[in-house]
Amino acid sequence: MSATPPFRNLIRFLDESLKEHYGDVGDNDLDHIVGSQVEILRGEVFDLERTGEKAVVHELLPPLTSTPIFICIGLNYRDHAKEAELDVPPNPVVFTKPPDALAGPCSDIMVPPEAKMMDYEAELCVIISKTGKNIPESEALSYVLGFTAGNDLSSRYWQRPPRSGGQYCFAKSFDGFAPLGPTVLHPSLATGALRIQTRVNGEVRQNGSTDEMIFNVKQIIAHVSKGTTLRRGTVIMTGTPAGIAGKMPGQPWLKHGDVVEVEISQIGCLKNKLVFEAES
């Protein structure tokens, strides 16, 4: 008999006295986590145990206090590769985002004046639970703390030629450009395809499923750890489905005050408002 997982849907949150905790949403409604009562988990995020104690969620925080790096996969959905008019790659396309890109599931995202032509990318994200290198596919899921939702916010101005030089990183690396959350789904409970959707001010922009991924989670972990140490706490963003603003008619870029929601079934919904900073 398999052991009971230490959590079902892990959150990091502030209670009503503004004390920080980890907790398990359990059977609560993922659409109404704030204000609900959850079980407190004791320990650090990679070694948690149940307490039986309860607390009311006042504010949701990023599921991790920090990450060493975001490893990101481009063109991992066939429909997205098609809309981008690019060939399906023979191997995962890898780029990175820095640690300070991390933001919370309800945080306002500050967009600097340099970040023009702003776009969204809904992504299933994998949190690595232990350090490894040259991880075989057969062992890959044993390195996973869980799955969460993420938005790979991107400035297409810096991603497109001639400014990019074919590199994605700078366009996607501004502070706060990787909101995560609201929960972390235990890997033992992610047994089927997950629906993934983006909404901008309530309008559905992306609507896909993780079973449309070209490279699955096991294949991605095996690939990105080849000859490379994958540190505990690393977040892997696994790619986005079709529907990005840059390939829609009229290119409806994100603007000041827009609210972007990224929702993944069994995980919940990010809801971030974009705040465009004024030029100095």
At 118, list the tokens. Answer: 């702003």
Question: Which residue type sits at 219?
Answer: Q
pLDDT at 8: 96
DSSP 238: -
Beta strands, E only, the chain: 9-14, 20-24, 37-44, 47-56, 59-61, 70-74, 93-97, 102-103, 109-111, 118-119, 122-128, 144-151, 154-155, 178-185, 195-200, 203-209, 235-237, 259-264, 268-276
Contact, 242 vs 198, CB < 8 A? no
2 pLDDT above the threshold of 70: no
pLDDT at 27: 80
Contact, 100 vs 265, CB < 8 A? no
Mean of pLDDT over the chain: 96
197 pLDDT above the threshold of 90: yes
- Would you list the DSSP string of 92-104? -EEEEE-GGGEE-
Report the C-alpha gap between 58 and 153 in whole angstroms.
Answer: 26
Helix H segments across the chain? Answer: 78-83, 156-159, 169-172, 217-224
- Decide: pTM greater than 0.85: yes
pLDDT at 1: 38
Distances (CA, A) of 60 to 15, 65, 110, 239, 271: 9, 12, 18, 24, 11
Report the C-alpha gap between 179 and 10 in whole angstroms.
Answer: 16
Nearest to 261 by CA among 109, 117, 45, 126: 109
235 pLDDT above the threshold of 60: yes
Contact, 186 vs 169, CB < 8 A? no
Report the C-alpha gap between 77 and 80 in whole angstroms.
Answer: 5
pLDDT tens-digit readout, 91-132: 999 999 999 999 999 999 999 999 999 999 999 999 999 999
Distances (CA, A) of 68 to 21, 59, 96, 233: 21, 24, 11, 6
Distances (CA, A) of 212 to 78, 137, 150, 154: 7, 19, 17, 22
Contact, 23 vs 13, CB < 8 A? yes
pLDDT at 247: 94
pLDDT tens-digit readout, 26-49: 888 899 999 999 999 999 999 999
∠ CA 145-147-153, nearest 5°, is 125
Distances (CA, A) of 196 to 147, 155, 240: 13, 21, 9
Q: What are residue 211's phi and psi, to 5 degrees?
A: -75, 0
Residue 149: burial class (beta carbons within 10 Å; 0-12, 13-18, 19+): buried
